Amino acid sequence: MPAADTTFNSVKLSKFINTVMWDGKKETARKVVYAAFETIKEKTGNPNPLEVFDMAIKNVGPITEVRSRRIGGANYQVPREVRPERRQALAIRWILIAARAGKGRPMHEKLADELISASKNEGTAIKKRDDTHKMAESNKAFAHFAW
């Protein structure tokens, strides 16, 4: 488990920085995340960007997902509840994928915008969560195959 980051003393933020990191460039990842936090401060007027970050992670994390299960020669999409660790990991992953998808702007701006919109229950990462929930809902008939 990663140690809490030095500025905000948050283990969740430390995991986020590690996920932002590419090619072992942790200091670059740290600068991007902290610059995004500064942008969040400016745009929301909230002196504590960690609240926006925590809210975004909480909102994006899925409650249920579907897992493939092979039974008698047929594959079924079985809805399952998501464990808290996986929920957080998926939320972080989806927010970063959504931020990286935006082109032509610095990463810290794209990341700040995605975090702000996710904290308000909108944006690409929230759409991904909703799609996952819809998929689980539509496959509820196969819930009895859960293991």
Q: Tell me, what CATH number does 141's domain have?
A: 1.10.455.10
Please state the separation of Cα 25 from the chain's center in Å.
21
Mean pLDDT confidence for 107-119: 96
Handedness of CA 14, 8, 52, 136 (dihedral sign): positive
Q: Is residue 106 part of a domain?
A: yes
For the chain, how many structural domains are there in total? 1
pLDDT value of residue 6: 86
- Percent above pLDDT 70 for the chain: 99
pLDDT tens digits, one per residue of 60-93: 999 999 999 998 999 999 999 999 999 999 999 9
Taking a C-beta distance cutoff of 8 angstroms, is the pair 90, 82 a contact? yes
Q: Is residue 76 part of a domain?
A: yes
Tell me the backbone φ, ψ of residue 65, rounded to 5 degrees: -145, 170
Determine the structural domain holding residue 25 and report its residue range.
11-145
Predicted model pTM: 0.93
Q: Is residue 77 part of a domain?
A: yes
Q: Is residue 2 part of a domain?
A: no
pLDDT of 2 > 80? The answer is: no
pLDDT tens digits, one per residue of 13-40: 999 999 999 999 999 999 999 999 999 9
Q: Is residue 20 part of a domain?
A: yes
Rounded to an integer, what distance in angstroms lies between the CA atom of residue 30 and that of residue 98? 19
